[in-house]
Amino acid sequence: MNNLPPLAERMRPKSLDDYVGQKHLVGPGAVLRKAIESGSLPSMIFWGPPGVGKTTLAYIISQTLDRPFFSLSAINSGVKDVREVIERASVLKSEGEALPVLFIDEIHRFSKSQQDSLLGAVERGIVTLIGATTENPSFEVISALLSRCQVYILQPLNEDDLMGLLVKAMKEDEVLQKRNIAIKETEALLRLSGGDARKLLNIFELLVSAFTEKKITLTNQNVLEHVQQNMALYDKTGEQHYDIISAFIKSMRGSDPNGAVYWLARMIVGGEDPLFIARRMLILASEDIGNANPNALLLAQSCFEAVNKIGMPESQLILSQTAIYLATSAKSNSATTAIGAAIAMVKETGDLPVPLHLRNAPTRLMKNIGYGKDYKYAHSYAGNFTDLDFLPDAIKGAKLYEPGNNPRENETKEKLRKLWGERYKY
């Protein structure tokens, strides 16, 4: 079995009649099927969850119309790759060949500049673009490109579709035909697949290969046992998604760059949204590093902006650099604990009045009743500092900020002690 392509690839349908699901698009008389049969094919975006046949449908369309098929993945392709494909397509057009289909998987991962590089080819009719996305294209595809494409929504496969795939595989696949397989219970198989045909077939192949006996009976229990022991799934919307991002954050918080880049790699290989990763590093830069190293927040912000502009695969270098920097930085959660303590105090004490000397006094009446009275403008005093109360009277003297034990905040601690004396004695 190891010398053969995966089961999901072996069972990939070759024609619209073999294609499972999406009857609203490709069933008899459906809108997309009519377009295919007429040969008048617009550029289009397939929007739907993983494993519902977006890639397969794009390939079937190209084969049905006898057109060249070029395929790129937005995860590991850049502007250079797009331009090379467009150049190849231009040569075919100049030679009078059929209009190629350019399929771009996970097109939402392309940056604006990468998506811009497609516009000219689509407008000039050099390629028919078919983009696949799991995200709402209204938010993830630039408006200029989206306006030139028809959006088709692909639905999750239902239980009948999924079980039909397994029955078909057991009957037709050259490997599975040799095994005596009985599916006694289906709940675990269907739940683990999550409506994803590719995942279902991958799990099924894993299960079959795990049994040495010729006769196999699959139950919910043995399905769960074998899958949990042998299969590392990365589900961008499921538990694994949160477990891995948790491991990534905790590795950086724990100052382990090896752990940080490993879990980062797990997310990149699993197809995680790089902007999601960058956002989480932005949060960590304040939550766990804070004023121990203020440059951490600046670098994390630069990382987020660069990832947003550049896209994958190049952004993996920027993510790696930032993760390593954050992991090896000095740590402090003093900003986190300070705002937590302040919020708790606000909830406990309610809306305490602002002291009169701190109130704004834009009118004469406000001044006459004491607004702003006795306020001392710090810049009018030596060292740009004057001893003044800035908390409501009811909580005067409360300590909310506790500087962390690191070189930068130790300097802050000493500065506060010199300015405020007993009020900021730690």
pLDDT digits (tens, 9 = 90+) for 154-199: 988 888 888 888 888 888 887 887 788 888 888 878 777 777 788 8
The model's confidence at residue 321, banded by pLDDT at 50, 70 and 90, is very high
For residues 179 and 292, which has the higher predicted lDDT (pLDDT)? 292
Topology classification of domain 239-328 = Zinc Finger, Delta Prime; domain 3 (1.20.272)
Put simply, whether the predicted model's pTM sits higher than 0.75 gets the answer no
Distance (Å, rounded) from C-alpha 274 to C-alpha 322? 12
Using CA atoms, how far residue 337 sits from 97, 117, 178, 397, 405, in Å, is: 66, 46, 63, 17, 14
**Averaged over 320-345, what is the pLDDT?**
92
pLDDT of residue 186: 81
Please write down the long-range contacts of 133-137, taking CB distance under 8 Å and 24 or more positions apart: 133/45, 133/46, 133/47, 133/106, 133/107, 133/108, 134/47, 134/48, 134/49, 134/50, 134/106, 134/108, 134/236, 135/47, 135/108, 136/47, 137/45, 137/47, 137/107, 137/108
Q: Which CATH number fits domain 21-153: 3.40.50.300, 3.30.420.40, 3.30.1510.10, 3.10.180.10?
A: 3.40.50.300
Instruction: Output 253 or 8, whichever has higher pLDDT.
Output: 253
Question: Model confidence over 94-149: pLDDT tens digits?
Answer: 777 788 888 988 888 887 777 887 888 888 888 888 989 888 888 778 888 888 88
Ranges for all domains in the chain classified under CATH 1.20.272.10: 239-328
CA count, 13 A, side-chain hemisphere, 292: 24
pLDDT score of 277: 92
Where along the chain do the CATH 1.10.8.60 domains lie?
Answer: 159-230
- Please tell me the distance from the alpha carbon of residue 347 to that of residue 374, in angstroms, as a whole number: 29
CA atoms within 13 A on the CB side of 239: 4
pLDDT at 310 over 70: yes
Which pLDDT belongs to residue 363? 74
Over residues 333-370, the pLDDT tens digits come to: 999 999 988 999 898 888 888 888 778 777 777 677 77
Q: How far apart are CA 166 and CA 20, in angstroms?
A: 12
**Averaged pLDDT, 51-77:** 85
pLDDT at 332: 92
CA trace torsion 49, 126, 18, 22 (10° rounding)? 40
pLDDT digits (tens, 9 = 90+) for 232-260: 444 554 446 677 888 899 999 999 999 89
Spatial separation of the C-alpha atoms in residues 76 and 274, rounded to whole Å: 12
Q: Which percentage of the chain shows pLDDT scores above 90?
A: 17
Residue 121 φ/ψ, nearest 5 degrees: -65, -35
Architecture, CATH, for domain 159-230 = Orthogonal Bundle (1.10)
- Long-range pairs of 254-258 with CB within 8 A, sequence gap ≥ 24: 254/327, 255/327, 255/328, 255/329, 255/331, 256/327, 257/323, 257/324, 257/327, 257/328
Mean pLDDT, range 320-343, rounded to an integer? 92
Q: How confident is residue 322, by pLDDT bands cut at 50, 70 and 90?
A: very high
Residue 418: which H helix or E strand, with range? helix 407-420
- pLDDT tens per residue across span 196-232: 788 888 888 878 877 777 788 888 877 777 776 444 4
pLDDT number for residue 2: 54
What is the distance between the alpha carbons of residues 412 and 418, in angstroms, rounded to a whole number?
Answer: 10
pLDDT of amino acid 231 = 47
Q: Under a CB-based contact definition with an 8 Å cutoff, are residues 109 and 145 in contact?
A: no
| Confidence (pLDDT) at 148 | 86
Phi, psi (5° rounding) for residue 70?
-110, 135
pLDDT at 296: 95
* C-alpha 60, offset from chain centre: 29
Q: Selecting from 2.60.40, 1.20.1250, 3.30.390, 1.10.3710, what CATH number does the domain 346-424 have?
A: 1.10.3710
**Neighbour tally for 359: CB within 10 Å:** 15
- Give me the pLDDT at residue 232, please: 47
Percent above pLDDT 70 for the chain: 95
